[in-house]
Structure 1
Amino acid sequence: MTVTARRTVDDTPAPTRPRPAARVGYGTLLRTPGARRFLLPAFAARLPFAMLSLGIVLLVRDTYGSYGTAGAVAAVSAVAQAFVGPQTGRLADRYGQAAVLVPSVLVHAASVGALIALALGHAPVWTLFLAAAPAGASVPQIGAMVRARWVAKLADSSPGTLNTAFAFESVTDELTFVIGPVLATAVATGLSPATGLVAEAALTVVGGLAFAAQRGTAPARHPHEPGVRRVSALASPGVRLLAAAFLGVGTVFGAMQVSVTAFAEAAGQPGASGTVYGVFAGGSMLAGVLYGMVAWRRSARQRMLGSYALLVLGCSTLWAMPGLTALALAGLVCGLAIAPTLITGYTLVETLVPDGAKTEAFTWLTGAIGLGLAAGSTVAGRLIDGHGPSAGFLVPVTGAGLGLVALVVLRRLLVAPATPGTPGRPSRTVAQSAAPAQLVGAAKG
């Protein structure tokens, strides 16, 4: 909700009645100078994010015969990404995105190649973990970097423009989760599971290097200043709460990948798993498109609580579905709450950190999703091995339910803290001190 201000003679702003942010179309957003040059390679580079975990599950399940083992190896990769990714985001804020991306994609390709060779050679399981860790740690944080570019490009734009940009990015994320699993499954089942991971590594290298080459749209570097203590984005209580909430969303992703794969195989249609998961992601993509077109009157915090509650409700029916068609429909309903939750979370976190920590903050949320994905895939894999495919669907509702409890109990942390200032002036956070007042209004709904 935008806050307008009336200037008096002594230049003291007086707030007037709040009004919703103006709606900004996707066409207007895409006409932002330089946007299309970084968006196309970014899409190719982030597509493997939706392929890596599923590709690992398909390869390890094929070579070792256990969903539990497959989920554990995928979990190691996701955990490594969750903890190392924010550090690469911090380095990108400090040294620039290209300086981090180039070595990351090369390490990723080498690590995935090692994992494939070990799996095909039926090496001890612990060696798979050693290869999966650097493969996950080196996943390029393209989504966070693109969002940081939007923040830099739209700093002087209307509040609705940034909200639309985050909606567009969420839709793009979901599109990758529509195409990625289908592509990974098609290649893995049509050729071989190893080829699926080869395709993932190739896309990472080509897309990552092409994105890194677009230096003209990269945000400004924020090098370390001598004598100034640099604080992590995770020092903000609001960022920590949002990371916990995104952890719950990650359990939905991880458990769905493993559970849908097992459910489809049990139904005698293993090739349908990518399609079912794609329907789930498609529901989120549709919701994201519509969400970005609405001029919202409710605050971002209220929208976050509402969309997260709908996510828990949608996940509560998955375990009871009798067949693939019913599962796809239930997944569609569940997916409708994903994009609104992610869009609102990124909108909120942007207000909680200073300019020099925005990539890191976005990466903590992405990393939290990865960590939740790891936990979800591991627990779901164990439940499937012991109790059948449907048991794996208990994980999404449990993980999302815990995230909702955290949001409801600690929701006050989602309000950006005010810095000391002149009485009567609008409160602004450190993150907002260099941003226009309109951006503050967008963040607060």
Structure 2
Amino acid sequence: MASTVNDPSAGARSGYGQLLRTRGAWTFLLPGFLARQPFAMLTIGILLLVQHTSGSYTTAGAVSATAGVAMALFAPQGGKLADRFGQGAVLAPGVIIHAAAISLLITLALSDAPLWALFTAAVPAGASTPQIGPMVRARWAAKLDGSPLMATSAAFESVTDEFTFVIGPVLATALCTGIHPAAGLAAEAVLTVVGGLLFAAQRATQPPAHRTAAGQREKGGSALSVPGVRVLIFVFLGIGSVFGGMQVSLAAVTEAAGQPGLNGLLYGIFAAGNMTAGIICGAIAWRSTPQRRLLAAYPLLVLTTSPLWAAHALPLLGGLGLLVGLSIAPALITGFTLVEKLVPAGIRTEAFTWLTGAVGLGQAVGAAMGGRLIDGHGPHSGFLVPLIGTSLALLILVTLRKALVPRGSGSRIAASGVGHRDPVSVD
């Protein structure tokens, strides 16, 4: 008879409550929540600022994509450095560099600097973006090593990630459209410095640097050596294309309709659907394996993105955006669940940064491609980006799905409760 790590009858609430009573948890959760918001604010903040100063969605999307590419490429390296030298040692100088790079980018954009200068400033701005989410996950792993609450912490972090993608872009959009085009990026820099330094100061809860570094050496170096991680990177790139395509397309559609203020509302509906689905997924005691759930969830995401480009009425677009948001969380949460099954503990922080970086890269490239489509074919054409991005990712997922089966998965599998909780082998 299959058993579970946490009794489903206890409900998600009691599991979360017990988790949040873990000694010292709030010392890194609160600054961590503050510091992880900039991850979801960066590309949309750059997009809205540069579009305002240049008048071109193509230019804005390209600069935003440059930052996203830099973030995706450098995030795993930052994860390795944090594993090796400690999170505080990497974060403290990193947030200062990031704030300086953002300040430079804002100054250049507002002074009508040449495009090459904006590209140059976007590289350090993206590369220095702190990867707080993976660092928080690593702290939970260090505190709860061997505890049944590890599964609960995984669910909690996935819901928190979803909430970040609700709050961050909506906040950046509201600041850019309601106060000043540069206000979103300025707030991003402030949150990075304040939240990042507060988080870095909590050294008592950070994982021991020597332990994870030794784990990396023992397992041979990089999370990319795990085939399933490479497949999940493409899956998360597709998810990122939804965020990027929705951001640039909603901005263009509402501007063309003469109601730019509705951009924040429509994106908020989309993001609220994402958050709602994340909470629901976190309340379900799953009995199916995560790879099966991903293969079921991703086609649904492709299906919901299909009619976006044809929806010209703003209320209809809001309703469809809600459905897309509801479809993202199951795929995103299940992908992170698979990482915990596929990747050895010693390189798990790096693996998380590859996936979060893939979302950022997909978001930036999606915004860039959407911008080109919008400038050339009208505001609604940008909605083709989420459809194309998720369709290509689904093709790769189905073709290479066997890479997502953990080694030694021949034993019986039992669901472990909350949505992001892993199925646990029962001998």
2:296 to 306, 314, 318: 306
Higher helix share: 2
Root-mean-square deviation (Å): 2.2
Supply the distance in 2 between the matched residues of 1:181 and 1:66 (Cα, whole angstroms).
20
2:391 — aligned with what?
Answer: 401
Superposition map of 1:67-106 within 5 A: 67-106=57-96
Contact (CA 8 Å) 1:251, 1:395: kept in 2 or not?
yes
1:358 — aligned with what?
Answer: 348
Give the drift of 1:408: 1.3
- For 1:371, the aligned partner's letter is L
2:105 to 98, 115, 124: 115
1:18 — aligned with what?
Answer: 2
Supply the distance in 1 between the matched residues of 2:217 and 2:207 (Cα, whole angstroms).
24
Give the drift of 1:225: 8.7
2:313 — aligned with what?
Answer: 323
Output one character per residue of 1:291-348: Cα deviation in whole Å (capped at 9) or x when no partner.
1111111111111111111111111121121222211111111111211211111111
Is the counterpart of residue 442 in structure 1 residue 418 in structure 2? no
Superposition map of 1:236-385 within 5 A: 236-385=226-375
Structure 2: give runs of 5+ residues left out of the alignment: 413-420
- For 1:117, the aligned partner's letter is T
Seen in structure 2, the aligned counterparts of structure 1 residues 442 and 152 have a Cα distance that, compared at 3 Å, is farther
2:206 — aligned with what?
Answer: 218
1:4 — aligned with what?
Answer: none
Supply the distance in 2 between the matched residues of 1:443 and 1:273 (Cα, whole angstroms).
46
- Give the match's secondary structure for 1:48: helix
Supply the distance in 1 between the matched residues of 2:216 and 2:320 (Cα, whole angstroms).
54
Supply the distance in 1 between the matched residues of 2:298 and 2:215 (Cα, whole angstroms).
39
Supply the distance in 1 between the matched residues of 2:99 and 2:256 (Cα, whole angstroms).
33
1:390 to 380, 384, 400: 380
Contact (CA 8 Å) 1:148, 1:359: kept in 2 or not?
yes
Seen in structure 2, the aligned counterparts of structure 1 residues 340 and 113 have a Cα distance that, compared at 3 Å, is same
- For 2:63, the aligned partner's letter is V
- Give the match's secondary structure for 1:336: helix
Larger radius of gyration: 1
- For 2:366, the aligned partner's letter is G
Supply the distance in 2 between the matched residues of 1:442 and 1:338 (Cα, whole angstroms).
24
Give the drift of 1:144: 1.1
Matched-pair identity in % = 58
1:422 — aligned with what?
Answer: none
- Give the match's secondary structure for 2:341: coil
Contact (CA 8 Å) 2:215, 2:346: kept in 1 or not?
no
- Give the match's secondary structure for 2:342: coil
Supply the distance in 2 between the matched residues of 1:322 and 1:53 (Cα, whole angstroms).
25
Give the drift of 1:165: 2.4
Supply the distance in 1 between the matched residues of 2:18 and 2:400 (Cα, whole angstroms).
36
Give the drift of 1:399: 0.6
Supply the distance in 2 between the matched residues of 1:305 and 1:32 (Cα, whole angstroms).
34
Seen in structure 2, the aligned counterparts of structure 1 residues 289 and 443 have a Cα distance that, compared at 3 Å, is farther
1:165 — aligned with what?
Answer: 153
2:170 — aligned with what?
Answer: 182
Decide which moves more: 182-191 or 162-171: 162-171
TM-score by length of 1: 0.88
Supply the distance in 1 between the matched residues of 2:296 and 2:375 (Cα, whole angstroms).
34
Contact (CA 8 Å) 1:281, 1:332: kept in 2 or not?
yes
- For 2:191, the aligned partner's letter is L
1:410 to 380, 400, 406: 400
Seen in structure 2, the aligned counterparts of structure 1 residues 258 and 367 have a Cα distance that, compared at 3 Å, is same
- For 2:268, the aligned partner's letter is G
- For 1:284, the aligned partner's letter is N
2:194 — aligned with what?
Answer: 206
Contact (CA 8 Å) 2:105, 2:122: kept in 1 or not?
yes
- For 1:103, the aligned partner's letter is P
Give the drift of 1:441: 4.1
1:10 — aligned with what?
Answer: none
Contact (CA 8 Å) 1:168, 1:288: kept in 2 or not?
no
Seen in structure 2, the aligned counterparts of structure 1 residues 334 and 229 have a Cα distance that, compared at 3 Å, is closer
Give the drift of 1:417: 2.2
Supply the distance in 1 between the matched residues of 2:97 and 2:345 (Cα, whole angstroms).
28
Supply the distance in 1 between the matched residues of 2:422 and 2:167 (Cα, whole angstroms).
35
- Give the match's secondary structure for 1:155: coil
Seen in structure 2, the aligned counterparts of structure 1 residues 314 and 226 have a Cα distance that, compared at 3 Å, is closer
